[in-house]
Amino acid sequence: MSAKAVRNLNVQYIATTLSVSCLVAMSGASTVLAQEELNALVWCDHTDTALLEPFETANNVKVNVKEYEGTGAALSIIDQSRPGDWDVLVIDGIDVPRAVEEGILGEIPADALPTADFFPEVVMADNNTLDGKTYAITEKYGYNTISFDKTKVDPEDMKDMANIWSDKYMGRIAIYDYYLPVIGLTALSAGIDTADITEENMPDIRERLLAMKSASKLVGDVVSSQTALATGEVDILVGGGEWVTAVLSAEKPDLDWVIPEQGGLRWSQSIGVMADSDKQELALAFVQYITSPEAQAKLATSSCYWGMPANKLAEEHLSAEQKMALRWDDQAQYLSNSQLYPAPDIDLDDLMQDVWTEMLQN
Amino acid sequence: MNADVSGNDDPRSAWFYVVPALLWTMAFFVVPFAFMAATSFASLVRRKITYTWDLGNYLEFFDKPYLLKGLFVSLEITLAVTFISVVLAYPLAWIIAERVPKRLQRAVLILAILPFWTSYVVRSYSWLLLFSSNGVINNALMGSGIISEPLQLASTTSATIIGFVHFFVMLLTLTIYSNLVQLSPNYKRAAMDLGANTFQTFWHVILPLTLPGIMVGAFLTFVLCIGDYITPQILGGNNELVLPQIIMLQLGRRADIPAAASMSIILMLVVTAVYLLCLRWLKMERT
């Protein structure tokens, strides 16, 4: 074959390839144009296909989820994004006022939300509303308390938090690496309510925290602390709760959790619409979907971690085993014996984080 | 004699080749670095970055012992890893270069660096399976009656060092091997002819000539190890934080980019100081 023929063939090949590529790109583009997209900044429990698919199908929308851990990380991501990049935000219930003050969350119509069907204690109007306007809605809650392996630990011991500092369990403890709940639990062990934590009593909490670290084997995030408990690396997880053990209830029935007599911490997560979203209606529809009974049951039993649904009507969509793992019937007692996360101002928050870093480093 | 292999002495054409590299370095190193350096002098006021020119972030780092400790932990781990890796990698590289038949060297080298092909994170988690209380090592020791209670192997600084050494021995083996195979056998023959025994030949001839390969590998190990935070995070159990972990805490928990930038600059200054200390050995060409 001559060089000219080869060159012609190459030109034909390139032209054909470009044409096909353009057609593919155009058909892809038309598909993308036909399907709207919703961008949600979420915790890992919102990423299951089973949770997102019904909403996507019903609304012909693609929900893009980005996971984050810790409000600081979320604020950092938002800070580095363009206005309108994010439509929906899932955030620690305690941090909703902060997100509202910073203009991150927009107002949503209270009458469009199913809060009448919620456990009253977790509606948390003080957090989710400001000046009579609603900015977020609680979607899931649970407890940061003590998780343990009941075959290796005396369950009676776990009812008194003082045993965490005893020699009996030295080196058998993991600490959940999130400063707010663990500092809150440490405060409760010292008889300080989470709402009463101040710069004045932080030195006492610091001492207890450092002593707890000395008695512990590791400090780990969600995955590593859960793995440590599940694999027998440790027998106790401080800061654990149903979110650690319930998801493993079938495979690891020996894992249990308790709210000790000193009390436990109640975590809650809220969902809201971003103030600068261009898709306010679609974002609100997503919030309504997530707080519907069907979606609430799926969110409660997500593959990442379990937690109680805020909507009581989710009960109809949960099996007896799932409700048992979530301790559905004990909620009245648990809700009354738990306190909300500490809500520090910026200065106290900085101090708490300093103490936490010092604890990690010792 | 001018050794211009292209036969083109025009300095303008030399610039033609250099400019893309300069632009690349400017865009992806100099400008980001300048931005990071400027940010390190900023401060976080009410969670907003305020651009100022003060040394607050640096002073805070040296003022808080638990932050400063991160630098010392990093240095301690990195120096230990570098030393152990060199001690293990040199004999391995020497055996491959000197004792393995030429036709098998490539296969042996591939076997030696095989773990490189697996994910870095997976490798670290694999070590966790070995080190955990119910892991292979503790089960073997307890099964054979040597110990009655499991040893704490995971979540320790030692676990971090072992995880790092596993990775960096491969890297060092490659750099030292490439240096050894370039070495003319005449050096060894000449030393032997002059009456040197095997050890003297190695100590006075081979080792000094392969020092550049060792130093290049050691420096790469130092740089990669001191900047890593994944292995300490997985194997160290958050028990002693290295500086990169503390930097990540500033970013992930506090969104304090100025503090993270100042610590990154400090880390970079340490690496620069080590580079300057090693500069005389960091050249591969033999004169």
Give the pLDDT of residue B6.
52
Interchain CB distance below 8 Å, A346 and B46: yes
Q: Return d(Cα A123, Cα A137) in angstroms, integer.
A: 7
Reading the block at residue A115, the tokens are: 């809060």
**What's the whole-model pTM score?**
0.78
Q: Return d(Cα A259, Cα A242) in angstroms, integer.
A: 10
Q: How far B78 CA lies from chain A's nearest CA (Å)?
A: 17
Domains located in chain B, CATH noted: 1-40 (no CATH), 56-281 (1.10.3720.10)
Closest CB to B66 among A102, A346, A358: A358
- CA separation, residue B161 to residues A140, A219, B153, B226, B235 (Å): 40, 18, 11, 12, 9
Q: How far B132 CA lies from chain A's nearest CA (Å)?
A: 6
Closest CB to B47 among A232, A346, A353: A346
- The ipTM is 0.79
CB-based contact, A220 to chain B, within 8 Å? yes
Give the pLDDT of residue A5.
42
Chain A to chain B Cβ contacts (< 8 Å): 74
Backbone angles phi, psi at A236, to 5 degrees: -135, 140
Per-position DSSP letters for B169-216, written without gaps between them: HHHHHHHHHHHHHHS-HHHHHHHHHTT--HHHHIIIIIHHHHHHHHHH
Give the pLDDT of residue B7.
54
Contacts of A140 (CB under 8 A, 6+ apart): A45, A268, A269, A296, A299, A300, A307, A308, A309, A310
Q: Return d(Cα B161, Cα B231) in angstroms, integer.
A: 9
CB B124, CB B131: distance < 8 Å: no
Sign of dihedral through CA atoms A168, A170, A172, A173?
positive
Every domain of chain A and the residues it spans: 35-141+267-332, 143-265+340-361
Closest CB to A72 among B132, B246, B253: B253
Give the pLDDT of residue B8.
59
Q: Which residues of B touch A358 (CB under 8 A)?
A: 64, 66
Interchain CB distance below 8 Å, B252 and A76: yes
Question: SS in 3 state form for A274-291?
Answer: ECCCCCHHHHHHHHHHHC
Interchain CB distance below 8 Å, B255 and A79: yes
β partners of residue A140:
A269, A309
Provide the residue-wise pLDDT of chain B in tens; the chain has 287 residues.
444 555 556 777 888 889 999 999 999 999 999 999 999 999 988 777 889 899 999 999 999 999 999 999 999 999 999 999 999 999 999 999 989 998 999 899 888 878 778 888 888 889 988 998 888 999 999 999 999 888 889 889 999 999 999 989 988 999 999 999 999 989 989 999 999 998 999 999 999 999 988 999 999 999 999 999 999 999 998 888 999 999 999 987 888 899 999 999 999 999 999 999 988 777 655 54
- Are the folds of A35-141+267-332 and A143-265+340-361 the same? yes
What angle in degrees, to the nearest 10, is found between the helix axes of B257-278 and B65-94?
Answer: 40
Q: Return d(Cα A189, Cα A208) in angstroms, integer.
A: 9
- Chain mean pLDDT for chain A: 89
β partners of residue A236:
A148, A173
Could you tell me how many helices (H) and strands (E) chain A has, helices first? 14, 13
Interchain CB distance below 8 Å, A357 and B246: yes
Minimum Cα–Cα distance from A78: chain B residue: B255
Q: Return d(Cα B263, Cα B251) in angstroms, integer.
A: 11
Q: Return d(Cα B233, Cα B239) in angstroms, integer.
A: 9
Interchain CB distance below 8 Å, B252 and A171: no
Provide the CATH topology of domain A35-141+267-332.
D-Maltodextrin-Binding Protein; domain 2 (3.40.190)
CB A210, CB A229: distance < 8 Å: no
CA B239 to chain centre: 22
Interchain CB distance below 8 Å, B238 and A70: no
Q: Return d(Cα A210, Cα A152) in angstroms, integer.
A: 25
Q: Return d(Cα B164, Cα B169) in angstroms, integer.
A: 9
Helix (H, G, I), strand (E, B) or coil at A141: strand
Does position A18 have pLDDT exceeding 50, yes or no? no
Percent over 70 (pLDDT), chain A = 91
Helix (H, G, I), strand (E, B) or coil at B287: coil
Q: How far A343 CA lies from chain B's nearest CA (Å)?
A: 15
Q: Return d(Cα B18, Cα B12) in angstroms, integer.
A: 10
Provide the CATH topology of domain A143-265+340-361.
D-Maltodextrin-Binding Protein; domain 2 (3.40.190)
Q: Return d(Cα B225, Cα B234) in angstroms, integer.
A: 14
Residue A61's pLDDT band, with cuts at 50, 70 and 90, is very high
Closest CB to B133 among A75, A219, A233: A233
CA A8 to chain centre: 60
- CA separation, residue A232 to residues A103, A191, A222, B41, B146 (Å): 45, 31, 16, 46, 20
Helix (H, G, I), strand (E, B) or coil at A62: strand
Sign of dihedral through CA atoms A122, A128, A134, A135?
negative
CB A73, CB A41: distance < 8 Å: no
- CA separation, residue B116 to residues A280, B85, B93, B112, B209 (Å): 48, 15, 16, 9, 27
β partners of residue B84:
none
Q: Return d(Cα A318, Cα A296) in angstroms, integer.
A: 10
Q: How far A175 CA lies from chain B's nearest CA (Å)?
A: 10
Looking at chain B, list the stretches that DSSP marks H as alpha helix, in order from N- to C-terminal side. Answer: 11-25, 31-40, 56-63, 65-94, 102-112, 120-131, 136-143, 157-182, 185-193, 198-201, 207-226, 230-235, 243-252, 257-278
